[in-house]
Structure 1
Amino acid sequence: MELPTVAIVGRPNVGKSTLFNRLVGKKLALVDDRPGVTRDRREGDVAFGGLNFRIIDTAGLEEADSATLLGRMRMQTEAAILEADVVLFVIDARAGILPADQPFAELVRRAGCKVILIANKAEGGAGMAGAYESFRLGLGDPIPFSAEHGEGIGELHEALKENLPESDEDEEDDDPRGKPLKVAIVGRPNAGKSTLINRMLGEDRLLVGPEAGITRDSISLDWEWHGRRIKLHDTAGMRRRARIEDKLEKLAVSDGIRAVRFAEVVVVLLDATIPFEKQDLTIVDLVESEGRSLVIGLNKWDLVADQPGLLKTLREDCTRLLPQVRGVAVVPLSGLAGDGLDKLMQAVIKAADVWDTRISTSRINDWLSEATQRNPPPAVSGRRIKIRYATQVKSRPPHFALFGNQLNALPKSYQRYLTNSLRESFDLPGTPIRWSLRTSSNPFDKG
């Protein structure tokens, strides 16, 4: 049985995202004093005093033409209402009931789901007056609440307990398909990340359009590919730091970086018509430095000419520009047309497997002996560096320890040689590889 769904709806800036963060127990949703911060539906799992449910934070309800960005945001919110078992209809108790609240209360009533009315920001005398005024909406008794301070949380728990259907809280633990693979989609603004995820899901789940930078929050979505459970993370477009002046965009980009840190595989999506811009290389550097497995997607492939010739050139460019992830999969695709999605996911699964690789100590030392014989380490001050032994200390990403003398003087170029040789010998394309150099502390060890 799936978890029941609760949607938080209301006008912009009434405190929906603050309430979402409080219930989820983490600062997942971006919060700012300006209205209209949330654009996409953001989801989270809640364990709240014995209640287990999925919660959806939505964009603020506003009247707007369906062709505009505001109109598309409203359509996303309406879709969340239709999906929900329970709607938390939030008003700003300090502002009282505004004309815009009435048609949206009617919208929620027509949807036929259970509604809990929350009069947020009700702390203090002015807030309580607004809470009483909300009886006019015809949505039942309001709960005076403060999402900021947690006041009214007990009353909300009781209301949810009365209205939520029962759920099987152990469902995920007992799922025979195992834990979902966490995949983050990142890239520059307007690379087509949300369009790609919508195509994967087979529905217009994420807000898209010609405007760059529509996505602000890092949105987490459950999906299944050929029986494999996947948790997809859509992220805000990442621009150069020097070009990010807006506080909200800084929050959105830091949210995307957090998604990279928690992912197992990161798909860096490039616009195939203008690939390998400086910012693309910076994003790949970030993924590598965070130790995540990597796949490069060449989106909008249907818009380029001479596809075979360009693909060969771009793969050569990738090897030259990104030596730290040598052999990374470069997959041409079109999120809009749906081309190349299976090849992308095959590359994602392979990248996850490589990232999780473990190699026995005996095989590593057989390789090390051959690699150092073929190309011995250099001498330092007339004394040759000696590498005695190697072992893998962990995976995710593969991390190896080298033992020997004078390893603190081992040149970076020789470490690169070992990394490339290791990749080739054990089929470790594209994944970050880490080294720990452990020099003997014996002062009488002359090698």
Structure 2
Amino acid sequence: MHTRRVERSCRMGRRQKRWIAIVVLALLLLSGLGCNLTAILESEETATVPPSPTTEREAIPTDTPPPSPSLSQAVPLEHAFGGFSLEYPSGWVVDFGEGMVMVAESQEVLDDFDWSTGALMLILSGPPEDITEGMGAQEPSAEGLLDVILEDFGDQEEAHLGDVETRRFASQEGTGVPLWWAEEGQPLRGYLATYLDGEVGIVLLAVSPEDGWGEAWPLFEAIMSSMVFYAPLEAVDRGGIELGGRSMATLDPGGTDGWGYRSLGDEYVTIEVVALGDWDPTVEVFNEAGDSIGFDDDSGGDLNPRLMSLYLPTPGRYEIRVSTFSGYGDYEINLSGAEAPGGGSLTYGEMVESVLEQGERQVWTFEGTAGDVVSISMIGLGDLSDTYLELYAPDGALLTEDDDSGEGYSALIGEYELPQSGTYRIVARAWAAEAGEYELSLEKSP
């Protein structure tokens, strides 16, 4: 399966596309399932049709005894990077995304990524703190995860929510709830389940057309009853990489590779990852404190990531993590020195105009004081329609970023309080490596 870009009407401008799958699920449910997964993940614009009115439906029993279904012909799946194992029906197919595993009854369902065509299960997993923070859950529990996902679902008149119940997996218990809705006139039926402990968080969504639910539900139950959860495996250590170095490796399904680079500090580097096959890699860089200082997905063209002119402010070891937005396989990673990017300095109340070349990241600096509340706006002019902003602290840590909070597809970091005094860096770039003129302004609130 080759997953495409996030559709604009539902797109979330996030650096950590590890959690894009979680955002997708949250958007689906918090919007009353008003955007199907195809509309979110396909590049072509897809019309959204409100769910059709529901009629009286046969409810899934809520006082469910511990499930005991089994699969006569089961295929084992051990996903160490996701922190779980399961068994799925023979003849079904599996695909891996970043932080997500998809199990479907056919390749057609995976290729279309449209659950109106057949049975599909999405399993989102990761460290518990990442899952709860990514979902915005206030209570660190399976019930808390379910609550935040379903917060607005009950307000949708044309969707039906069943009773929340205890969901038993192989030897662990979480929370689950049956769902009914429709997409473009197609009645659908689903089941949402969550699990959380001190080692791993899980969000699971099983869906099929309603007329196929009678066959799909026993299989979904059998998959869930086979699931065992444990602490996810961390990144594979691929060793060090030198400036000017080029290495090759193979990313495991659903995995993350870590490469170490020791910098003398105060230097700019460019990092490129090239997939040797039909899959979509990502790259992210962390400093010694574990703070992310740069992320990219597609700036290198052909869905390959390229971090151009990334600033490494302090001496020490930096970790370069290669992961995936969709798929897995062989890749090549290149690290090279770079010139300082275009840009300059700003003062409060100033507005500047500049031009981005394709894939370029321009850096603008300003002096800030702890407690200052600032707003940063980047508006594309002419051919540049979709801008992107990143704000970095004096120590190089990424503080916040934005894609579309301004008018249209313009980036806006609004009313952000600076945590410390020093020199801040604004990275001005474009979504999907667009090029063109832009206007950048920096304001301080009274």
**Same fold per superposition (TM over 0.5):** no
TM-score between the two structures when normalised by the length of structure 2:
0.25
Larger helix share, 1 or 2: 1
Larger Rg: 1
The answer to which structure, 1 or 2, has the higher relative contact order (CA under 8 A, 6+ apart) is: 2
